[in-house]
Amino acid sequence: MRLLVLGATGPTGRHLVAQALRHGDTVTVLVRRPAALGPVGDRVRVVEGDATSPGDVERAMSGQDAVISALGRGRSLRAHGLFTRSADALQEAARRTGVTRLVWMSSFGVGDTFASAHVLLKAAYGTVMRDVFADKKASEATIRAGGMDWTLVYPTTLTNGPARGAYRVVEDRTRMRLAARISRADVAAFLHAAAHEPRWIHRDAVITG
């Protein structure tokens, strides 16, 4: 596939680019700071720009089969509209380019998944994480209501541990554990696989290790 990766300089995005290249996909990345990518070789097309700019997103998205977003705010507790603005930019670019497939990395605890979180996590999600989670929730409402073929992915707490080569899609969310974790490498594997599998279109996936 021809894949556009958003958030390619982040820790999950890096795994995602590597995963896609291992599988023989053609990868485009839209990054604010190309130098931060390090050496990626000539199999990656680098577009410099901002994921909240409709024009930049359109430029990177043109000619792709699918977009995978691993955008995030790093350690910041403020969203500054990143998710809502990039969701809007994606919708607009999708209309202009005809590229409709989107796999979007959210966080367990956002939107409807909040109800099944452990009480201690709910306390964090409702206070320190509140601003980021509210922006993510609003962005996902936009995505769900828009015309794209979306998959919304809700990983539990992320680790930088090695890929276990396995992830669990949680069907019974009433049993979510406080300690549920998944490595960014395994999340990247799921994001990549979902982009290739039409059965994930218009579905949510809560994933854990």
Ligand X SMILES: NC(=O)c1ccc[n+]([C@@H]2O[C@H](COP(=O)([O-])OP(=O)(O)OC[C@H]3O[C@@H](n4cnc5c(N)ncnc54)[C@H](OP(=O)(O)O)[C@@H]3O)[C@@H](O)[C@H]2O)c1
Contacts of 32 (CB under 8 A, 6+ apart): 9, 48, 49, 50
Residue nearest to ligand X (CB): 72
Q: How far is the CB of 122 from ligand X (least distance, A)?
A: 15
Three-state SS letters, 48-104:
ECCCCCHHHHHHHHCCCCEEEECCCCCCCCCCCCHHHHHHHHHHHHHHHHCCCEEEE
Q: How far is the CB of 24 from ligand X (least distance, A)?
A: 23
Near ligand X in 116-155, by CB under 6 A: 155
> Which of residues 11, 96, 100, 118 is near ligand X by CB under 6 A?
11
Cβ proximity to ligand X, 10 vs 111, nearer residue: 10
Q: Are 126 and 109 in contact (CB under 8 A)?
A: no
Q: How far is the CB of 33 from ligand X (least distance, A)?
A: 5
> Which of residues 48, 50, 149, 204 is near ligand X by CB under 6 A?
50
Question: Which amino acid is residue 28, in one-letter code?
Answer: T
> Is 178 among the residues that bind ligand X (CB under 6 A)?
no
